[in-house]
Structure 1
Amino acid sequence: MDFKSSNVGLWKEALNSYETQITSLDKPILISLDNFYRTELPNLLHQRDPCPYITTTELSKLMQWKLTRGKWRPRLLEFVSSLKDDAVRAASQKAFGSLPNVSKAVSELVVLKGVGPATASAVLAAYAPDVAPFMSDEAMEAAIGNSKDYSLKQYLVFAEKIQAKAKELSTEENMFKPSDVEQALWSSAIGAKLKTLSTNSGEVELDKKSRRKRKR
């Protein structure tokens, strides 16, 4: 997916293939974790209005989702799982209450050990997908050409671009949220990666067959 593209049809196609790509990664636990993150958790958070918060157990499960969908870093999960529930609730209440000021909201969450801007963005995206996109490597690479810098400054640059793209793609018939844009970019990147792996695997197999024939 070319981030510069304004073709709403292509973006919708990428977004609609998200669940297919989740399944194609062949990680059974990811399917249930993704359902938790995109469906169950948002409902839980909004049931707690007007003072929403996230619990340590929920944050730990969110971290599992983030690491399973991306790069596995077990130490982060250990840090988050050991956080005191009162601290997690207090920090997340302040963060959610700071929205739509994304910078302040992220700053309220990163005081928690193991929670950096990327994890903070996942928390915010679960509660306010129309404001804060998740800082995934795939979307970062597509939007700003860099997925190595996980600083707040970089996230704000990324979030602004994703928000602008969501606004550009939205019509009266089809509204795109920043989280929709992130998911479309992730889906497109994973699809392209799997296609490349499949092609390379096929070429290797053909090469093996060719060599076997030459030996006969």
Structure 2
Amino acid sequence: MEFKCSDVNLWREALSAYSARIESLNKPDLVSLDSFYRHQLPPLLRGRNPNPHITKSELSQLMKWKLTRGKWRPRLMDFVSSLDEGTVKSASQKAFQALPDISKVVSELTVLKGVGPATASAILAAYAPEVAPFMSDEAMEAALGSSKDYSLKQYMLFVEKLQAKAKSSVEFCCGSQVE
């Protein structure tokens, strides 16, 4: 299915096939890591009120998930493993407090060694998926035609493109104007 497709039923069908597609990749631990990322991590992050944050252990699991589904970069795991628990908590608290300023959130998270815009987007997407998408290779390729640039500027372009797509899909589906 192409990104330009406006058939909401085809998008729903693609989403419903997600779990089977993840399983079909036959990558060790990916199914359990994906379940952690999609089902366990979001309520953990949102449940830490009034100061939501990610822990070092959760960041490590998230990084393992990201690298297992994409290109394995062992140095990134080493960097995350060397982070201090307090630093991870502090940086992620500052980041989540910066919402809805996505650019600032990413900047706050990327102070953590090993966390670039793509990993920051994964953290943010787990916490606030209604605001920010995960900057995966596949999504970048579909939305922007390229997955080579992992800069904050490129991420913001990606966010804009996906938010516009979501808005147009709601308008198409519901026949109403979204503000």
- Letter of the aligned partner of 2:152 in structure 1? L
The answer for the alignment partner of 1:181 in structure 2 is none
State whether structure 2 residue 12 is matched by structure 1 residue 21.
Answer: no
State whether structure 2 residue 65 is matched by structure 1 residue 65.
Answer: yes
CA distance in 2, matches of 1:80, 1:70: 17
Could you report, residue by residue, the CA deviation over 1:137-170 in whole angstroms, capped at 9, with x for unpaired residues? 0000110111000000000000111111112223
Q: Choose between structure 1 and 2 for higher RCO, CA contacts under 8 A separated by at least 6 residues.
A: 1
Q: How many residue pairs are counted as aligned between the two chains?
A: 174
Could you report, residue by residue, the CA deviation over 1:63-102 in whole angstroms, capped at 9, with x for unpaired residues? 0000011111111011011100100000000111111110
State whether structure 2 residue 26 is matched by structure 1 residue 6.
Answer: no
Q: Secondary structure at the match of 1:135?
A: coil
Give percent identity, aligned residues only.
68
The answer for the alignment partner of 2:86 in structure 1 is 86
Q: Secondary structure at the match of 1:134?
A: coil
Q: CA RMSD in A?
A: 1.4
For 1:55-204, what aligned pairs fall within 5 Å after superposition? 55-170=55-170
Q: Say whether the 8 Å CA contact 2:121–2:132 is kept in structure 1.
A: yes
The answer for the alignment partner of 2:177 in structure 1 is none
The answer for the alignment partner of 2:31 in structure 1 is 31
Could you report, residue by residue, the CA deviation over 1:170-216 in whole angstroms, capped at 9, with x for unpaired residues? 36988xxxxxxxxxxxxxxxxxxxxxxxxxxxxxxxxxxxxxxxxxx
Q: Say whether the 8 Å CA contact 2:8–2:173 is kept in structure 1.
A: no
Could you report, residue by residue, the CA deviation over 1:91-136 in whole angstroms, capped at 9, with x for unpaired residues? 0001111111100000000011000000000000000000010000
CA distance in 2, matches of 1:25, 1:161: 27
Could you report, residue by residue, the CA deviation over 1:32-71 in whole angstroms, capped at 9, with x for unpaired residues? 1011001111111111022100011100100000001111
Structure 1 stretches (4+) deviating beyond 3 angstroms?
171-174
Please give the TM-score of this superposition, normalised by the length of structure 2.
Answer: 0.94
Q: Secondary structure at the match of 2:29?
A: helix
Q: Secondary structure at the match of 1:170?
A: helix
Distance 1:49 1:169, change over 3 A: same
Structure 2, unmatched stretches of 5+, are 175-179
- Which structure shows the higher helix fraction? 1
- Letter of the aligned partner of 2:162 in structure 1? I
Q: Secondary structure at the match of 1:87?
A: helix
